[in-house]
Each structure stands twice: as structure tokens, then as C-alpha cells.
Amino acid sequence: MKEAKEEYPRIGIRPIIDGRLGGVRESLEETTMNMARNVAALFERELKYPDGTPVQCVIADSTIGGVKEAADCAKKFERENVGVSLSVTPCWCYGTETIDMNPHLPKAIWGFNGTERPGAVYLAAALAGHNQKGLPAFGIYGKDVQDVGDLYVPEDVKSKLLSFARAGLAVAIMRGKSYLSIGSVSMGIAGSIVDADFFQNYLGMRNEYVDSTEVLRRIEHNIFDQEEYAKAIAWTKENCKEGEDFNPAEKQSTREQKDQDWEFVVKMTLIIRDLMIGNEKLAEMGFGEEAFGHNAIASGFQGQRQWTDFLPNGDFPEAILNSSFDWNGIRAPFMVATENDSLNGVPMLFGHLLTNTAQIFADVRTYWSPEAVERVSGWKPTDQAANGFIHLINSGSCTLDGTGQQSRDGQPAMKPFWEISEEEAQACLNATTWYPANNGYFRGGGYSSKFLTKGGMPVTMSRINLIKGQGPVLQIAEGYTIDIPENVHQILDERTDRTWPTTWFVPKLTGQGAFRDVYSVMANWGSNHGSISYGHVGSDLITLASMLRIPVCMHNVEDERIFRPSAWSAFGMDPEGSDYRACQTYGPVYK
């Protein structure tokens, strides 16, 4: 399948200058423009779009000393598909005359910390202007004084610049895209009651809805690439090993039926992808309407129960699409939410856009206390497991990247697709077994993936919940995947379902509130699902949430890592309370 090249939004950089001609402005032109070029080089070097290409920056045609040049810059940014706005300056400038007034662009200002010219004074004045006009902006100011013209970007400044840019690009990339709902509500799960107002007002996204029968129609009428299907089924037979059928003998499918299920779920995978992003091959086959797709950056498949009571389940298509590889090789993962849980699909999308990695979808299934583990297994948890742990497990829709078979610096990892080797992709496949579906849950058959996530990965679990009268809130729990003794894993794991993938998770504890102990994390989690991203990215999620006006109701991110718009400090001294008040005051960006 040939995919169209996407035009991603760019980062716009606004070099702001003291507008006084006759010596002052002239002396600062080169320094100011070099500051902009230096930041552009940083972004282009450090950041990549979801397709692996370097982030692109647009710099204003001239330095901006007043409203005319600010307006010229705004027009250029419109023409050049700019989605994020950063102003930089080494000096005093005219505050409200030079700020970015576009209400839909995430914006920040870096005021250079130097003694020769007061960049910090402009930063403070411009932020005050933003706040007074209701245009929240992030303030960036280095801790250490630098010499004028110094092109070095201090680490504290660099960290904030990159955090702002990552989150801002996520906002811009989501805008105008779709969430595709395939089917409707799954088993009364609130997150699969897809709320169009949330997507439109908070994310700038539209919603597309397709009945599950569209998948069946395309299978029965062969509306998929026949050549790719032949390639896909051959790859599946070679790389996806089938496990033992644990269903009662009298309820097991015949070999013929199992083979038909393999063919069915591979076709489902092709079709769900085509529904999301389209496929020009379908137009060549005479299916022009189907070839367009739904411009979906994320999707969800209802599955249970109307589908799975009589047709093969969606575990294989969800797992393969959520992974960074398939029969076409290594590629960017798709975001497909199990049970159409759109409120878990959104944090999957957040995590993917911030890290460019695949995301684990899981039930936040069971808290195992040390006492309970010892009682049922005879093993007393130690080290990271000493305070207990959480069993993350769901029917096999989880990304195969979640096996932990990729590595970075000798440690298990989940990496952007362009960093994954063929050997690592194969190791993920080899670590996964596909078991005939538990027909107590899935009467229509199918296959569920089974693997055990390697311990030692830093990860961040997150979740969006919608609260009546409040709106959306975000939960965040940074922590680690852990290993437990193999025999203990087997005892605990088989108390649930031996055909599903397992991740053992320990959150970082703070000793307070929802993070006073592991039990409290489980007890305060707002729904049955969580999205797990590689790395401790809670701070970036907080930055992104503030841009979208979504308050964070639960997190264990250290205070010094939290980065929100400067206006948030005007809403009170308690960070969480001020976050709620600021989000309520400003309201959804797109409403």
C-alpha cells in the first residue's frame, strides 16, 4: 500500500527586537536573528514528526520590532502551515505590539538571561500582556546569566523549549483529524460512549462513525488489496505462532475453522487500517469512496459483544496495528483503542505524539499486595515489588512493542519505529504467542496475543475521564515495569487469563495522596483502562494538558519538572488547584 505524504504543521519562530532605530535596533539585528536560527537548529536536530522526518521550522522574514512586522509574521505563519509559535529575544521590546495574537497557536517566549540587554524585562512584560488579553503563553528564562550573542542553549532552557515544542506539535497535529468509531458502545464502557463535544472543543478533532458491519461487508465483497492480503497471510503464518487451545475439548473449533479465523482477522487488519487512512489501491479496484478513508489519527473497535458473539475478535488487528511493524516491514504504529474506549484512545494518541512510540493498552486489572502475593505463591516481594504491584492485562490487543524486546543502552525499551532494527521486530514477534480466543469471552473465535513485558522499563500510565459538571480530567502515574519470579508470574497470571499479555507495573510513590502507596494508585484510577507509554513523560503530558485546558487530577511528577503557562501562577499557590481554576477560566481552546 502506498501512503500519501502528510504535511505536518511547522514551528514558527518570531525574533523580537527593540524597535528603536538609530543605533539600538541595528546593534541587535544579528544577535536576535541568530537566536532564532539557533533555536530552529535545535528543534530540527532533536525533534521528529511521527513519520520520522525532522521537524520543520519557519522563521519570520525579519526581526519584529512593532505591530506591522508582527502582522507580516502572522501572515507568513498562516501561509507556511505553522502550528506552534515561539518568540525569542535578547532585549527589551514593545510588549503588546509584538506578541502573537493567534488564539489557536500554542505559544511561548524565551527571554534571554543577559545583563547587556533586558530580555527578562520583555519576557515579563509580554507575558503580562498575554495574560491580560487571555492568551496564555509559556515563559522560558534561563537560571544563569549568559553573555550577549552566546549561541549556547543552557540545559534548563533546552528542556523547556523541547517540552513546549513536543506538546505544541501534538496539539497542532491533532487539530483537524478524526477519531474513527467502528461500532458503538462496548459492554457499557463509558469511554466508548464517544463524546463528540469533547473531541471538537478540547482537541479540535472531528468524529467519524462506521457501523461494524462495514468491516464484514468489505470482507464478504473483497474490498481490500488482494495482493497485500496474500503477502499478509503468508507473513502471519510464518511469524505468528499459534498456541495451545485452552478451551474445553467439546467447545474447541476445528482446524479448518481456526484457519478460516486466521484469514478473517488478517483481512480485518487491512480493512481497519483502510478505514482510518484510506488506500489508493481501492480506487484502482473501483472502490473510489472507500479509498478515501476517514482521515483518522486514532480509532476504536467496539468488538464486544455484538461482533465477538458470532465473529472472530479484534485482538489480532488491534495488536498488529498498534505495533511498529507488520508484513510491510517496520512502520509507524496506529492508535486503535480496544472496546472503542475513546477516552483511553486519546491518551494513547497523546503518548504517541509526544514520544513517537507505540502505546500499551491495558486493563488496570488487579492490585497485588505483598501479603496477598506471599499467601498465594509463597514468595515475599522484595526490591521494587516490596510494596506490591499492579497487574496490567487485557485481551490480546496490546502492541507487540510492549514485550520489551527492543533495547536502548542495553536496557529493554520501546522505540520510535525508525530506531527499531529488523532483529528487534522479530524478537517481539518471537516473544508473542497467539492463542485461540477464550470462547467464554469470545464466542465467535479469533486469536489473542500472549506475552510477558520485560521488567526495567520506565513507563507512564495515563487516562482521560469525563466528569459531569467538570469536563475532562487527566490522570498520570509514572513508574516501572518489573520482573517477578517465573513461577510466581505463572501462579498470579493464570488466576486471570493465560491467553492475554501481562505487564507488571509499579508506580513511583510520593507518600502522599493517591501516591502514598500502590493500593491508593489503583483505588484512585478513574476507569478500567490505562494507556502506558515508554519513558517518564508525565511532565510533557502535563504541559500538553495545560495547552488543551484539561486539568490534571492525579500525578506523581516532581514539582520542578512541571511546566505550564505563566498565567497559571495567577490562579493560586497550590499547583493542582490553580490548574483547575485556570482551565475553567480559559475553557476549551476550540469552543
**pLDDT tens digits, 175-200:** 999 999 999 999 999 999 999 999 99
Q: Lowest mean pLDDT: which of 6-15, 140-149, 471-480?
A: 140-149
Residue 314 phi/psi, 5-degree rounding, is -95, 10
CB 179 within 8 A of CB 208: yes
pTM metric for this prediction: 0.96
Q: Rounded mean pLDDT of the chain?
A: 95
pLDDT for the residue 3 = 55
**What does the pLDDT read at residue 149?**
74
Which residues partner with 58 through β-bridges? 12
Does residue 69 carry a pLDDT above 60? yes
Is it the case that residue 470 has pLDDT exceeding 80?
A: yes
Angle at 378 between CA 373 and CA 384, to 5 degrees: 50
Above 80 in pLDDT, residue 116? no
In this prediction, residues 383-400 reach a mean pLDDT of 94
pLDDT digits (tens, 9 = 90+) for 152-163: 899 999 999 999
pLDDT the model gives residue 2: 54
Phi, psi dihedral angles at 36 (to 5 degrees): -65, -45
Q: Are 400 and 361 in contact (CB under 8 A)?
A: no
Q: Which residues pair with 155 in a beta bridge?
A: none
Per-residue confidence (pLDDT) for residue 113, from 0 to 100 = 77
- Rounded alpha-carbon distances, angstroms, from residue 209 to 6, 217, 295, 472: 23, 15, 12, 21
Binding residue per annotation — 339?
Answer: yes
Q: How far is CA 143 from the centre of its chain?
A: 30
Whole-number Å distance between alpha carbons of 139 and 554: 24
Find out whether 462 and 507 touch, Cβ atoms under 8 Å.
no
pLDDT score, position 112: 78
3-state secondary structure of 227: helix
Q: How far apart are CA 514 and CA 522, in angstroms?
A: 9
How far from each other are the two terminal CA atoms of the chain, in whole angstroms?
37
How large is the average pLDDT for residues 351-371?
97
Half-sphere exposure of 547 (CA within 13 A, CB side): 31
All domains of the chain, ordered by start, with CATH?
A: 10-174 (3.40.50.1070), 178-586 (3.20.14.10)
Q: If residue 216 lies in a helix (H) or strand (E), which one and from where to where? A: helix 213-220
pLDDT at 17: 94
Give the tens place of pLDDT for each residue, 244-289. 999 999 999 999 999 999 999 999 999 999 999 999 999 999 999 9
Q: Is 458 helix (H, G, I), strand (E, B) or coil?
A: strand
Residue-level length of the chain: 591
pLDDT at residue 150 in the model: 76
User: Which residues, 6+ apart, have CB-to-CB distance to 383 below 8 Å?
Assistant: none
Active-site amino acid positions: 339, 363
Residues paired with 364 in a beta bridge: 392
Report, as an integer, the average pLDDT of 489-496: 95
- The answer to whether 363 is annotated as binding is yes
* pLDDT, mean of residues 466-471: 97
Report the pLDDT value the prediction gives residue 94, as an integer from 0 to 100: 87
pLDDT of residue 6: 80
Question: Grid coordinates representing 329?
Answer: 516491514
* DSSP category for residue 560: G
**Whole-number percent of the chain with pLDDT over 90:** 91
What pLDDT is attached to residue 118?
A: 72
Q: What's residue 376's pLDDT?
A: 97
Sheet holding 82-89, edge to edge: 57-59, 10-15, 82-89, 107-111, 138-140
